[in-house]
Amino acid sequence: MKGVDVGEARLLLAALLERVLAGEEVVLGEGGKPVAKLVRFDAPTAPRRPGALKGRITIGDDFGALPPDLAGAFGSD
């Protein structure tokens, strides 16, 4: 991971993007402190489909129930 001052990054943006595309992470700093990180964006290969896991996941009957000690803390019985 390479650190670059924000002022320098303004001048070198195209070169920094090439490095990011090659897999390197670049940290942008200002006043010697890191303020942002440039990382490669990998878009999902396929869009997520609502309901894609329907029928493949089950939720227990007691899913919403609080443990007795926690329920007591909230005044529930």
- Write the pLDDT tens digit of every residue in 15-52: 999 999 999 999 999 998 999 999 999 888 888 889 99
Domain at 34, CATH number: 3.40.1620.10
Rounded to two decimals, what is the model's pTM?
A: 0.52
Residue 16 lies in a domain: yes
Model confidence band, residue 1 (pLDDT cutoffs 50, 70, 90) = low
Expressed as residue numbers, the domain containing 9 is: 1-41
How are strands ordered across the β-sheet holding 33-38? 2-5, 26-30, 33-38
Measured distance CA(7)–CA(35) in Å, rounded: 12
Quick one: pLDDT at residue 68?
83
Residue 37 lies in a domain: yes
Q: What is the mean pLDDT of the chain?
A: 87
